[in-house]
Structure 1
Amino acid sequence: MSQEVQVPEFIAADPELWFAMAEASFYSAGVTQDRIKFGYIVGALPAKYATEVRYIIMNPPTDGAYHKLKTELIRRLCATQEEKNRRLEREEIGDRKPSQFLRHLQGLADPTIPESRMKSLWMKRLPKSVQVSLAIVKDISLQDLAVHADNIMEASRPPVQKLNETASIEAIISAKFAQIALGLNQEIATLRAELATHADRSRRNRSGDRSQHRPRSHSRSLQPFDGNCWYHWRFGAKSTTCRKPCKYAS
């Protein structure tokens, strides 16, 4: 019993690769019938690409429908090898790493192109300083040579560029610390205001308590009463003390 086929998402830029992946899924699931393959492919095609092979989908041949659909779709979407070769001669490295650029060229090149030819096409697009450094490297594969070129490019980057990257990181960190410091200062200011309010309230409460419980001064208690001082008012002739003003007559 065959398994369910997992057809990958369509790769418009490389339909040959997509069909190879789909066929690997067919093989894993045990799907061998042409019409079943045809149905899976039609179901996976986005509408804009299905229109490229509309006449095959609408009127599939009795035999070899899958093969016909595959051949025609690749023909319509893929550039011819002559076009790829012309593009291969024009490609520039741009901002890609040497290893990325090599993989890009290999994707354009005919699979039968010799490695020596690919190496020549690749190396002559690299910066001159990298070409000189690679010229003395011997007896390693083209892929390893590309990794070596990546390391040379990284080491030869202008110090200003590295400094700018470091400065950018430091600027981000500084901004974060400034944000944290601002938040802490705001919290401290709020806390100080709350403490000041609490202290002021406590001070007013203590002042009120003292005014309510302040004892009468002794001098007030000794003020004249009906013209006499407190001692003569209290003890009369028996008083041995007198406080002026006092009109008591002995």
Structure 2
Amino acid sequence: MCESENMTKSDLTGSKDIFRVGVRVPPFWPEKPAIWFAQIEGQFAISNITADTTKFFYVVSHLDPRYASEVEDIIVSPPADDKYGRLKTELIKRLSESREKKVHQLLTHEELGDRKPSQFLRHLQHLAGPKVPDEFLRTIWSSRLPSNIQSIIASQSSSPLEVLADLADKIHDVVPKGQVAAASSQVSDVLTLTKQMTELVKQVEILTRKVNDLTRPGRSRSRSSSRHRSQSRSDVHPTCWYHYKFGKKATKCNQPCNFDSENPKSSQ
């Protein structure tokens, strides 16, 4: 909102004219509320506004509803004293991201994307704030760069961070833009093939165990011994067990059997 410049009437005795400059309130900046308050306080100083209540209502009248709702309790029930100071403190506190959240975002979410390496570095510096060491920031920044740039940055360990950012930009401009995407696609293909090979190895292991169970030495010997005993018994006693044991008195017979009821002795 911009108020026109007003001038009080000068008296006829030649006293100095008194000018009052209107407050030019900049658009609210939710990402940087502290800077916005610094700007509006500059306008208060130019306009010679010192009253706490006047400052308070200037700010309230220029807040978007979604940001005003963040300090609804103060707007609806302002304190008796220092209304403007309380509103400023709470609005900055509630809208500004905590340093911990910024560092968490720095560590877990930020990627190079379409930015140049130097732009990405400045973005990380903004998120980290002034208290994060350059060496730590350098590690995070370089690890998010394409592998061909990482290898060159790693060989320049003694260079300042700004010099490395300029070097990374030059490499980034030379490397074809599709190379990084192609590399990502190749990595994805390799991971898919690796997964398929792992499944095949598991299936082969299962089949191998089944074959080993079927061909265990103990089982083979048991079957072989059983067949050997059957064959030996058949060779020694061509008659079935019943006729061999009971002769003509046998009431049962298992084939093959060559028992001769007329001549029992010849069958034995």
* Bin of the TM-score, shorter chain as denominator length: 0.5 to 0.7
For 1:123, the aligned partner's letter is: S
Per-residue CA shift, 1:60-88, capped at 9, x if unaligned?
Answer: 22322222112222222233222211111
Q: Partner residue of 1:68?
A: 86
Give the equivalent residue in structure 1 for 2:56. 38
How far the C-alpha of 1:28 sits from its partner, in A, is: 5.2
Counterpart in the other structure of 1:77: 95
Q: Distance in 2 between matches of 1:19 and 1:149?
A: 37
Match among 3, 13, 24 for residue 31 of structure 2: 13
Deviation at 1:92, TM superposition (A): 1.4
Q: Which moved more, 1:23-32 or 1:127-136?
A: 23-32
Q: What TM-score does the superposition give when structure 1 sets the normalisation length?
A: 0.54
Aligned partners of 1:130 and 1:122: how far apart in 2?
A: 11
Q: Whole-Å Cα distance in 2 between the matches of residues 29 and 129 of structure 1?
A: 57
Q: If the length of structure 2 is used for normalisation, what is the TM-score?
A: 0.51
For residue 117 of structure 2, the aligned residue among 98, 103, 113 is 98
**Structure 1 counterpart of 2:53, one-letter code:** R
Deviation at 1:56, TM superposition (A): 1.0
Residue aligning to 1:114: 133
What is the aligned length? 161
**Aligned residues of 1:35 and 1:65 also touching (Cα < 8 A):** yes
Inter-CA distance 82–156: structure 2 relative to 1 (3 Å threshold)? same
The aligned counterpart of 1:142 is 161
Deviations 1:118-161 (A, max 9, x none): 22222221112212223344776534432332222111124899
Q: 2:106 aligns with which of 88, 94, 117?
A: 88
Q: Cα–Cα, structure 1 residues 141 and 39, in superposed 2: closer, same or farther, change >3 Å?
A: farther
The one of 41, 50, 53 aligned to 2:71: 53
For 2:46 and 2:134, locate their aligned partners in 1 and report how far apart those are by CA, in whole Å.
32
The CA deviation at 1:11 is 1.9
Alpha-carbon deviation of 1:53?
1.0
Aligned residues of 1:2 and 1:31 also touching (Cα < 8 A): no
The aligned amino acid for 1:5 is V
Partner Cα separation in structure 2 for residue 141 and residue 13 of structure 1 = 30
Over aligned residue pairs, what C-alpha RMSD do you find? Answer: 2.9
1:83-134 C-alpha deviation (Å, 9 max, x unpaired): 2111110121122221221222122213322223222222221112212223
Deviation readout 1:189-222 (Å, 9 max, x if unpaired) = xxxxxxxxxxxxxxxxxxxxxxxxxxxxxxxxxx
Question: What is the identity percentage for the equivalent residue pairs of Structure 1 and Structure 2?
Answer: 43
User: 2:214 matched to which residue of 1?
Assistant: none
Q: Name the amino acid aligned to 1:108.
A: L
Structure having the higher Rg: 1
Distance across 1 between alignment mates of 2:36 and 2:126: 14
Aligned to 2:258: none
Residue type of the alignment partner of 1:135: A
TM-superposed CA distance for 1:2, in Å, is 6.2
Structure 1 residues 191-210: aligned runs within 5 Å = none
What amino acid does structure 2 have at the position aligned with 1:103? R
Q: In structure 2, what is the equivalent of residue 123 of structure 1? A: 142
In the aligned structure 2, how far is the partner of 1:29 from the partner of 1:117?
Answer: 46
Distance in 1 of aligned mates of 2:45 and 2:141: 36
Runs of 4+ in 1 over 6 A off after TM superposition: none
- Amino acid in the other structure paired with 2:101: E
- C-alpha distance 105-5 of structure 1, shift in aligned 2 (>3 A): farther
Other structure's SS at 1:112 match: coil
Map of 1:192 onto structure 2: none
